[in-house]
Amino acid sequence: MSQRVVVSNATIATVDPADTEITNGHVVTEGGRIVAVGTGLPPSFADQTPTRRVDSTRYLAMTGLVNTHQQC
């Protein structure tokens, strides 16, 4: 069973086509994949998946960056 990570109280740069920014939101990942992004409190979960909670007050959450430039 993979761990769930819940990041809450974050400012989120979604990097979607509309450049949406969420000022008080949450991001939920499971098994290294984003499964939920939204405003306000994260959803509650009834299952027993191990969950790590991260309070990101005053922090920015954004997608990871991958350097695709060829190394010389």
pLDDT at 1: 62
Q: What is the pLDDT of residue 46?
A: 84
Confidence of residue 58 (pLDDT cuts 50, 70, 90): very high
Residue 43, CA atoms < 13 Å, CB-side half-sphere: 11
Residue 67 lies in a domain: no
Q: Is 11 domain-assigned?
A: yes
pLDDT in tens, 5-54: 999 999 999 888 998 999 999 999 998 889 999 999 998 888 888 899 99
Q: Cβ distance 68 to 19 under 8 Å?
A: no
Report the CATH number that the domain containing residue 48 is assigned in CATH: 2.30.40.10
How many domains is the chain built from?
1
Q: 32 is in which domain, residue-wise?
A: 4-62
**Domain annotation covers residue 47:** yes
pTM summary value: 0.80
pLDDT confidence of residue 25: 95
Residue 72 has pLDDT above 70, yes or no: no
Q: Is 25 exposed, middle or buried (0-12, 13-18, 19+ CB in 10 A)?
A: buried
- The CB density around residue 45, as the number of other CB atoms within 10 Å, is 12
